[in-house]
Amino acid sequence: MVEHSVHTTRAAKKLKWFGMTVVKRYLTRDKDSRDLRDVHSNPEFYDKDIDLVLNLPNAQKRTIDLKVDSYYGSDPSRKIRDLCNPDSGFILLETISQLQYDRSRKVSTSGTLPVRQKADVPGWFFTSSADEVYYYFLALLNTETQLNPLYSEYVELVEGNQPTDEVENRLLRELRVDRDLLVSFSLSEARAWYDAAPETVFYGFAPAPNPSYLTLSKRVKRDQFISNGIGKSHGSIFSLVKPRSVSP
C-alpha cells in the first residue's frame, strides 16, 4: 500500500461541499437550476450513495454519486491540510468501506480472521446505486480558517432546511482554485471493466485508517482510465462557473 491518504470524515464533508457547489453550478449553467436536486443531505439517499439527481428530457433522470479529491495540486511540495495535495495521478475506486480491526484470533477454515462484532462493509464502487460517478479533483489554495465560517453557515442552513444558494454564491467568490478536473463515468460500465481488467492496470491500494476500521481503495491511473474510454474528462470546470469578480 502506498501513500495517498483519504481525508478524514469531517474534512471530507467540507471538501465535498466545496466541490459540490462547483459541480452543481456546472451542471445547471445551461439549464434551469430546478432541474438538479441536491439530495446528499437527505437520509432517504444515504444508503444509495446518491448525491445529485439531474432531470433529463422525456421525464428521464440521472443519479450522481459525487467524489471530491484534493490530490491534484500543481506544486509537488505544497500541501494545505485537507484542501490541496500534490497530484497523485490516480482515481481511487473504493472497494472496502470498512475493514474491521476487531477480529477473532482463530483462523477460519478459509484462512481468514473472522470479525468479532461489526461486519466488514464493501466500498461505494460495489454498493452505490447511482447511474454515474462524478469524480472531481479540486486543489484549493485557501486555508480552513478562511472557509470554516462559510461551511458552518451552510451546515446551519441545511439543518434548518433553508435554501443554500446565497452562501454557495459567496463560497464561489471565496474559493482560490489551484487546479481542478472533473471526470465522470458510468458505474455499471466501470464495474464491467473492473471485472475484466488485468491486475496490471491497478497500482495497489490507498488506505484510509479510521479508529475502528480501515477503508481501502484500488488505484487506477487517471489518464489511462480516461484514454480507455471508461472515464470522460470534462476538463477544468471552475473557470466556467466562477463569478466574474474572481481572478484566475
Strand partners, 71: 85
Distance CA 157, CA 165 (A): 10
Question: What pLDDT, on the 0 to 100 scale, is given for residue 243?
Answer: 84
Mean pLDDT per 10-residue interval, the chain, length 248 residues: 51 92 94 85 90 89 96 96 95 96 91 90 97 98 94 93 93 97 98 96 94 95 96 97 69
- Which pLDDT score is estimated for 245? 59
In order, the DSSP letters of 207-227 are EEE-SSEEEEEEEEEHHHHHH
pLDDT of residue 93: 98
Grid cell, residue 28, equals 445547471
According to the model, what pLDDT value does residue 115 have? 92
pLDDT of residue 128: 97
- Domain locations along the chain: 9-241
- Residue-by-residue DSSP string for 158-184: HHTT---HHHHHHHHHH--EEEEEEEE
For every residue of the chain, DSSP letters joined together read: --S-PPPPHHHHHHHHHHHHHHHHHHHTTTS-GGGEEE-TT-GGGGGGT--EEEEEGGGEEEEEEEEEE-EEES-TT--BTTTBEE---EEEEEEEEEEES-B-SSPPTTS---BSSSPPEE-HHHH---SEEEEEEEEE---HHHHHHHHHHHHHHHHTT---HHHHHHHHHH--EEEEEEEEEEHHHHHHHHHHS-GGGEEEEEEEE-SSEEEEEEEEEHHHHHHTTSSEEEE--HHHHS-TTS--
Radius of gyration of the chain (CA): 19
Q: For position 1, what pLDDT does the model report?
A: 40
Question: Which pTM value belongs to this model?
Answer: 0.91
129: left (phi over 0), alpha (psi -120 to 50) or beta: alpha
pLDDT for 188 equals: 97
Tell me what pLDDT residue 30 has: 82
Amino acid of residue 193: W
Asked whether the beta carbons of 204 and 110 are under 8 A apart, the reply is no
